[in-house]
Amino acid sequence: MKALLPIFCRPLGYAILVIALFIPFILAILGKVTDNNLIFYKECTKLLMMAGALMILLALTKNESHQTEQIRIKAMRQAIFLTIIFVFVNMLYRVAIRDTNVVDSTSFLIFMIINVLCLEFGMAKTRIDAIFKR
């Protein structure tokens, strides 16, 4: 999978993830979150997190090579597998407690975050392998 975004999008994606993580708490402390706009802020936070994760996944790295593309593809496969396991276990849990009111709408966000984790792990593993092979 080839990178589509420039190099600066990678740290920008992490910055967006951090901002999206802390904005709800800051808005709650300031008293901006009410029962009427809670869903709006929740969905906006999810969209920000998805945008940040996409920027991380699709950004070029410093030393972009064919090996980096292979790591991206492998991370995508691992993320799909782990997300399916997570969603399946979550569905089993809801069946076990007989919860019919909760609808999970975060599956894609979970997939994106797991994909970023797999990508970062693969990149770090490759860097460490290269150091020890010298």
pLDDT in tens, 27-37: 999 999 988 99
Nearest to 57 by CA among 123, 104, 128: 123
Span 67-108, pLDDT tens digits: 888 888 899 899 989 988 988 888 888 888 887 777 667 788
Residue 22: the pLDDT is 94
Mean pLDDT of the 40-59 span: 91
Residue 8: the pLDDT is 92
CA distance 17 to 109: 11
> C-alpha 2: how far from its chain's center?
18
Residue 134: the pLDDT is 73
Residue 62: the pLDDT is 81
Residue 11: the pLDDT is 93
Alpha helices in the chain (DSSP H): 9-29, 38-58, 66-96, 107-133
Mean pLDDT of the 98-120 span: 84
CA distance 83 to 115: 9
For residue 102, CA distances in Å to 28, 95, 98 come to 23, 11, 10
Residue 66: the pLDDT is 86
